[in-house]
Structure 1
Amino acid sequence: MSALRVVVEADGGARGNPGPAGYGAVVRDANSSEVLAERAEALGIATNNVAEYSGLLAGLRAAADLGASEVEVRMDSKLVVEQMSGRWQIKNPGLRPLAAQAATLMRRFDLVTYVWVPRERNKHADALANRAMDEAAGLASGARGGGEAAGKAQPATGGVRPVAGKLRPEQGARRLSGASGERGQPRPSWEPPSATPTRLLLVRHGATAFTAQRRYSGRGDVPLSDTGLAQARATAARVKALAPTVAAIVTSPLVRCMRTAEVIAGTLGGEVPVEVEPDLVECDFGEWEGRTFSEVRAQWPDEMDAWLGSTEEAPPGGESFRAVATRVRRVVATLHKGYPESTLVVVSHVSPLKILLRDALAAGDAFLHRLYLDPAGLSIVDMWADGGVAVRMVNETAHLA
């Protein structure tokens, strides 16, 4: 069965900003443009931006329900597209829970991309959103601006399926705050979780000769240096102190990771299975492999700028971070399903581990260039069956002192 690729068209608006608000979302087959699903709902009183994010969430949920593996999101909201692509910061605290929910949903797909389109190319979702705003205006009688179009609101066009359900204004406010936990999303809370998570102890391999020489080290099978082997032993002792019971050690197939994993397994008593996972291999740096950072900057300045500016760009002859993310998410989903309520050690490289932590923290792509992971550094991520995620620790290196 071939993978399902879909396009999500989403929109939202408010008549008053804030005012009676609603959203619309359409899911199309990426090849035929056939409409596979429609979603629309009145939100009560909300802002344009909240309604736009709500449309995005509805579209992603619908795509997930259809079993899609790849999603291209098209919206005429520059704000949502740029924020979810990681190029703009989310300064409005009211939007951060919605963006976090979207990031959680994105982990259900192999690939999600965002594309800005002009409003005239988003007419279907816009029409659904306007019908939802009509519903919201009727619900919020006496609400400011209830009878006047404002912001993105326009007269609804004909031929659109009626809105699926209504919300009272106070219901809309609760739902958009992220407090309802509806549609299977984990309910945000300050309370410590009571269930047992699947815990991932993330270990970057120990140092190699390339580490000391500041060279790109991707698919080249560079062994641990003496320093790296000592680091692996120190990390193994720390892992044993943190997790005396480990279900499995999962490692990249490259020797620097496999040797690190073997040292950890030996320290844990030699009975913990070591599983090789090809998808945990480092990014393929192509023509940059083995070259120093300064050499690459001097010889490929434009290509490096493009690579640093977009996860869709790849080094010449190499692999993009978007491609790395696809396989890393596949590994995480497999481990989460295969080892419920268990502790695992994951031994990998800088790029896969950064991407895993970025997804766990619902961060943007800029995170990848701002996080530093030391050789043999240790991070911890917990994952619960209801979709909840907690990052317990990032790049601990006290054991290396």
Structure 2
Amino acid sequence: MPTVLLVRHGRTTANADGVLAGRAPGVRLDDVGRDQAARTAQRLAAVPLAAVVSSPLERCRETARAVVDQQAGAPPVVTEDGLCECDYGRWQGRALRDLAKDPLWPQVQSQPSAVTFPGGESLAAMQARSVAAVRRHDAALAQEHGEGAVWAAVAHGDVIKAVLADALGMHLDLFQRIAVGPGSVSIVRYGPHRPEVVATSTDAGDLAWLRDAGPAGDAAVGGGPGAGAS
């Protein structure tokens, strides 16, 4: 199957202010976030992307456009509702320092699989629809572009953490152990037997090796020679 690059949007004004933006409209990248998106786009410029799929929210579409602008083939940005931010309900728009005092906060930290945000979505439902969206696009791109295709999914921190947890075979209750920084790139390859998590939350490094990576196969016993080995 193809390789998916899970790209978190760059920093926003809400991130900088410690506010849970959720699905609120008009939340855009700040100056730092635009620099992060540009840096990520430069890293991905060496990799011909078969597709760039984005959450419909502005901060992800801004990041996705930065990526596409650095692509020689300039694939169009496709929006995907399944990659949208979690619906935090009445938590949306509130300061994280205040939410940390909410009785639900400890459960969000220790047992997220049991959490449904008041007036919003459950974290389990968010994981189910985001994983389904990634796997659906991955399968479609394999048919259209071949098993060696590489594509980018631009989404949100909790969404990417949930997708990574699924790929790692982790219970959702453990997904808070995963950190995904703004503008970072995580790499997952859905092989014939299992997903292969190649990298998480990288914000530097050469990705040109992905041009010749080929489809994921059996795991190399002993770890193999590593990326870029001839």
**Which category of TM-score, normalised to the shorter sequence, fits these structures?**
0.7 to 0.9
Question: 115, 133, 142: which one pairs with 1:313?
Answer: 115
The answer to whether structure 1 residue 210 and structure 2 residue 210 are counterparts is no
**1:198-218 deviations in whole A, cap 9, x for unaligned?**
100110000001111122121
Q: Find the counterpart in structure 2 of residue 334 from structure 1.
A: 136
In structure 2, give the amino acid aligned to 1:213: D
Q: Find the counterpart in structure 2 of residue 118 from structure 1.
A: none
In structure 2, give the amino acid aligned to 1:311: S
Output the CA distance in 2 between the equivalents of 1:212 and 1:382: 32
The answer to whether structure 1 residue 257 and structure 2 residue 73 are counterparts is no
Shift of residue 270, structure 1, vs aligned partner: 5.7
Shift of residue 271, structure 1, vs aligned partner: 2.2
Question: 151, 154, 161: which one pairs with 1:344?
Answer: 151
| Relative contact order higher in (CA < 8 Å, ≥ 6 apart) | 2
Output the CA distance in 2 between the equivalents of 1:295 and 1:372: 22
**1:37-75 deviations in whole A, cap 9, x for unaligned?**
xxxxxxxxxxxxxxxxxxxxxxxxxxxxxxxxxxxxxxx
Q: What secondary structure, in the 3-state scheme, does the structure 1 residue paired with 2:182 have?
A: coil
More off after superposition, 260-269 vs 328-337: 328-337
Output the CA distance in 2 between the equivalents of 1:330 and 1:250: 14
Query: Identity of aligned pairs, percent?
Result: 33
Output the CA distance in 1 between the equivalents of 2:100 and 2:90: 12
Output the CA distance in 1 between the equivalents of 2:106 and 2:199: 31
Shift of residue 395, structure 1, vs aligned partner: 0.4
The unaligned stretches of length 5 or more in structure 1 are 1-196
Structure 1's consecutive aligned runs of 4 or more residues displaced over 3 angstroms after TM superposition are none
Count of residue correspondences: 198
User: Which is greater in Rg?
Assistant: 1
Q: What secondary structure, in the 3-state scheme, does the structure 1 residue paired with 2:23 have?
A: coil
Question: 125, 136, 159: which one pairs with 1:323?
Answer: 125
Are the aligned partners of 1:307 and 1:315 in contact in 2 as well (CA < 8 Å)?
Answer: no
Q: Find the counterpart in structure 2 of residue 359 from structure 1.
A: 166
C-alpha change, 1:209 and 1:270, in structure 2 (3 Å) is farther
Output the CA distance in 1 between the equivalents of 2:63 and 2:73: 13
In structure 2, give the amino acid aligned to 1:263: A
The answer to whether structure 1 residue 271 and structure 2 residue 78 are counterparts is no
Shift of residue 303, structure 1, vs aligned partner: 1.9
Output the CA distance in 2 between the equivalents of 1:335 and 1:235: 21
Shift of residue 398, structure 1, vs aligned partner: 2.4
Output the CA distance in 2 between the equivalents of 1:321 and 1:206: 22
Output the CA distance in 1 between the equivalents of 2:15 and 2:73: 28
In structure 1, give the amino acid aligned to 2:36: Q
The unaligned stretches of length 5 or more in structure 2 are 206-230
In structure 1, give the amino acid aligned to 2:64: A
Shift of residue 328, structure 1, vs aligned partner: 1.1
More strand by share: 1
Output the CA distance in 1 between the equivalents of 2:181 and 2:106: 24
Q: What secondary structure, in the 3-state scheme, does the structure 2 residue paired with 1:224 have?
A: coil
Output the CA distance in 2 between the equivalents of 1:252 and 1:353: 11
**1:329-361 deviations in whole A, cap 9, x for unaligned?**
221231132011111101000111011100111
**1:239-267 deviations in whole A, cap 9, x for unaligned?**
123x2x11110000000000100010001
Summarize the alignment of residues 80-159 of structure 1 with structure 2, pairs less than 5 Å apart.
Answer: none
Q: Find the counterpart in structure 2 of residue 380 from structure 1.
A: 187
Output the CA distance in 1 between the equivalents of 2:186 and 2:112: 25
Output the CA distance in 2 between the equivalents of 1:328 and 1:378: 17
**1:146-183 deviations in whole A, cap 9, x for unaligned?**
xxxxxxxxxxxxxxxxxxxxxxxxxxxxxxxxxxxxxx
Q: Find the counterpart in structure 1 of residue 225 from structure 2.
A: none
More off after superposition, 326-335 vs 222-231: 326-335
Shift of residue 292, structure 1, vs aligned partner: 1.6
